[in-house]
Structure 1
């Protein structure tokens, strides 16, 4: 485990002790900007929890990666220095293997199927799996569907990906997916991507519409292909070290507030997608609606490889398909 700065741990511990006499404070850190629809969902969680507890449970939010990267904040949760966070299921899969399932390409038939799975028994069972790693899942936040965008060559079929360097998250499933379709997956830090596209280091990337626009990648891209190959959600988590200090009523308030914020966040996300697509179209981006089945067929090997590597997860995968 990467060493957490000792001054940060002491600082958070000092504040926690100082405020403990009157209220319990839940410190929630994440890496997104305050304009992001997921941050708006977190504000709903904050408001709901303080209302339900009559002010005895307060939420202090540290956005914009103030306390570190997603991985670093997860480690802070594990040692109990921070109470909660929001991270991508892709990052979380490095801590809790079951979250790998949610990155399987074309796992969900459509948005309705995705929400039914995440909010149903299967989704809740995956959230619970993190407790043995000191990371209890509370709810999912919608992070939409990821699609390809490129600077010079349009992607209309998987064949068009051949020879293209496509930036992906440093996640093995994302790497396997792009490679299976014929592209050359290129893991790269998100903060370096604008310059990498601009200078031709990579030919494109893949992400959801709000990220495509908020990152300004639409300024240096010509094509956005809505193949929607994956729909990896964000996850709101609470560290078990904090959770176990709560009373039964407090736990109930936290879970109810998380569920309510998840529902509210869906609208924030939809509004953001609509606005982002409007901006992209007005900027002259060619929006391509491809035949998704072609991409799904090419990426079948990713699921096959996953089932070989994690045979114990076959039941969960089959349950998702049967929903």
Structure 2
């Protein structure tokens, strides 16, 4: 109750502040879009900055983007709610954070949903698949604009590498607040511990958890390599980051401005694809040099896939999501010649 009241007060304060900014810019016939986000890997930050540059360029300065970075006004859940109410206009969050707003986003939590990064991009760039997902929150006040690659998620432990599901058995593993992620750990024989990202380092350090799962940027950017120095490439999930925008704000833009925002979003995605791979390699190099992290690619992925088949069966048979699941699987074979 106290938390809800606190965030309501924060929302009011933000609305008062930014309304003042918009009134000031109205006379100049300019629009300022308020874009808030939590902590992120550098290539994602660069992509969000590129989005703002492109919006201003494509609208000849009529529309600009004002950023509230690095969790200044809340974590991902709070930022979604603030976008929903219109206190801010745009945010970027993990697809997993959107599960409680639209069941469609839970599809991305399925372990081994994608064969590889190429399969992931074919799905995410497919308008027929993604537009219904982006629009699934329209009645809640916001819609998806585009996605960013947030890499593959793998296990990293404090006491050794992961090669088979047996190495997860009996371990306490931090996961995001996702029912699918929790079920995955349970099927592998471990104990899932849902925690906020800001709690992971201390929990690893104090032995509250034995490991976690994330992309490589958790090792240096979040400092987890200091307390969990065994990173194993089981590559169980690829959960996209999603850029969402308040629907009323989007509708209030002129047709040309709306098109410019949508084009800028898509182009920022292409930019992020280019910078991600190089940034990952730099992160790995720093993780080895600074923390002595050991990267392990000797992982029996087939054994992991077999263990999590009940999750696949659950989605296949789901009345609401079965068709979406099948469309994603069909993209396995739709390779460009």
TM range (shorter): over 0.9
Match of 1:303 in 2: 312
- Report the CA distance between 1:36 and its aligned residue: 2.0
Pairing partner for 2:211 from 204, 208, 214: 204
Deviations 1:136-180 (A, max 9, x none): 111000100000000013211001111110011111111111111
Pairing partner for 2:141 from 126, 134, 139: 134
Deviations 1:34-60 (A, max 9, x none): x62111101110000100100000100
The yes-or-no answer on 1:75 pairing with 2:84 is no
- Report the CA distance between 1:307 and its aligned residue: 4.6
- Report the CA distance between 1:65 and its aligned residue: 1.0
Match of 1:40 in 2: 46
Match of 1:162 in 2: 169
* C-alpha distance in structure 2 between counterparts of 1:268 and 1:128, whole Å: 28
Q: Is the 8 A contact 2:151 2:215 kept in 1?
A: yes
SS of alignment partner, residue 155 of structure 2: strand
Match of 1:90 in 2: 96
Pairing partner for 1:15 from 8, 21, 27: 21
* C-alpha distance in structure 2 between counterparts of 1:168 and 1:250, whole Å: 39
Pairing partner for 1:219 from 215, 219, 226: 226
Normalised by the size of structure 2, how large is the TM-score? Answer: 0.91
SS of alignment partner, residue 244 of structure 1: helix
Match of 2:329 in 1: 321
Q: Is the 8 A contact 2:155 2:211 kept in 1?
A: yes
- With 253-262 and 118-127 compared, the bigger mean Cα shift is at 118-127
Count of aligned positions: 321
Q: Is the 8 A contact 2:315 2:325 kept in 1?
A: no
* C-alpha distance in structure 2 between counterparts of 1:52 and 1:193, whole Å: 40
- With 157-166 and 7-16 compared, the bigger mean Cα shift is at 7-16
- Report the CA distance between 1:135 and its aligned residue: 1.5
Pairing partner for 1:288 from 266, 274, 296: 296
The yes-or-no answer on 1:239 pairing with 2:246 is yes
Match of 1:263 in 2: 270
Superposition misfits of 4+ residues, deviation over 4 angstroms: none
Match of 1:62 in 2: 68
Pairing partner for 1:107 from 113, 121, 143: 113
Normalised by the size of structure 1, how large is the TM-score? Answer: 0.95
SS of alignment partner, residue 101 of structure 2: coil
- With 72-81 and 276-285 compared, the bigger mean Cα shift is at 276-285
CA RMSD, 1 decimal: 1.5
- With 83-92 and 66-75 compared, the bigger mean Cα shift is at 66-75
Pairing partner for 2:125 from 113, 119, 128: 119
Match of 1:151 in 2: 158
Gaps of 5+ in 2: 332-337
* C-alpha distance in structure 2 between counterparts of 1:189 and 1:211, whole Å: 13
- Report the CA distance between 1:189 and its aligned residue: 2.1
Q: Is the 8 A contact 2:219 2:226 kept in 1?
A: no
SS of alignment partner, residue 311 of structure 1: coil
Deviations 1:275-318 (A, max 9, x none): 1111233343221111211111111112233455x421110100
Q: Is the 8 A contact 2:316 2:326 kept in 1?
A: no
- Report the CA distance between 1:10 and its aligned residue: 1.5
Q: Is the 8 A contact 1:149 1:223 kept in 2?
A: yes
SS of alignment partner, residue 278 of structure 2: helix
